[in-house]
Amino acid sequence: MPTSPQQGALAPDIPPEALFGGVYPVDLVELAIEYAKSGSQFRIPRSRQGGFWKTVFPSLKVRYAEDNTRDFVKVLEGRLEADYCLIQEFDPEVEAYAVQAFKLVDWQNPTLTSFIPDIVKFRRFAPPVIIDCKPESIANAKIHRQRHDAIRNGLAEHGVAFEVATDTTIRQQPRLDTYKYLYSHLAHNPTQLNKDTGSVLAALKELEGAATVRELRSIDNFALRRGIAHGLATGLLRSDFEDDYGPDFFIELNQTEAPNGC
């Protein structure tokens, strides 16, 4: 019989096949979360990794390595999950995230039965949290409310948090469009991004740490966009994202964030 590093933790009545193919019994959810980091769907946000170029497509994210190989992070369900992933790229509290990295099963719970988390979010100052993305109209349906309650209660028994993210919370405007616009400027050489971010940081220090895009026009327009996008993604800058990106878009130095990659 094949062996696995997980098997030592298993009770005798748990079938060995639960160890393979990314399928875990719910009482091993913490182990599943830990092993999600080594799976093909594991994704480190731009702010937490270096040496890569990135771009984003409607239903997958592509990571271009320096040797021109590709590591696809496929958002299997659709655009809503991809939009949620995009938000994580600009959340400095998110260390990394895994997309549909495993399946949980609970043979004793007819309501739960099986569940594939859309996102496992690894946070810098809090335990990981499992996210299910659903349109609000579907999430509010009785059958899904009951299912989400069963999942939440089942995971809580093992100390794992569970949240439902809906299109109402994910697709807040103009925030989401601004994320998309800025993310499109991150597909550049990291050395160039660091240089552009440094220019923005230096200009902001001369303006007492805060300014609008209009006040930073002394910087080349393309370099300014790249520098702002990279600064926000790495947590060196912050913004409330209440305005579309434009002359009145407001940014400031994030005094609580140590320099990262710049």
pLDDT exceeds cutoff 90 at 259? no
Q: What is the pLDDT of residue 186?
A: 81
Domain count, the chain: 2
Q: Give the domain extent around 87.
A: 13-170
- Packing angle between helix 79-89 and helix 175-183, nearest 10 degrees? 70
Q: Radius of gyration (Cα) for the chain, nearest Å?
A: 21
Query: Rounded distance, CA 51 to CA 43, Å?
Result: 14
pLDDT at 239 over 80: yes
188, amino acid identity: H
Q: Is residue 132 part of a domain?
A: yes
Amino acid at position 14, single letter: I
On whether both 56 and 155 belong to a single domain, the answer is: yes
Give 20's DSSP letter.
Answer: S
69 & 195 share domain: no
Q: Over the stretch 60-82, which tens digit does the pLDDT of each residue have?
A: 223 333 333 434 444 444 678 88
Q: Are 25 and 104 in contact (CB under 8 A)?
A: yes
Would you say residue 226 has pLDDT above 80?
yes
Domain ends where: 124, 139, 170?
A: 170
Is 47's pLDDT higher than 80? Answer: no
CB 97 within 8 A of CB 122: yes
Find out whether 244 and 178 touch, Cβ atoms under 8 Å. Answer: yes
Residue 111 makes CB contacts below 8 A (sequence gap 6+) with 146, 147, 150
Q: How far apart are the C-alpha atoms of 71 and 41, rounded to whole Å?
A: 9
Question: Would you say 88 and 121 are in contact if contact means Cβ atoms under 8 Å apart?
Answer: yes
Residues 6+ apart with CB under 8 A from 147: 111, 112
Q: Residue 140 above 90 pLDDT? A: yes
The reported pLDDT for the residue numbered 35 is 82
Residue 259 lies in a domain: no
- 176 occurs within a structural domain: no
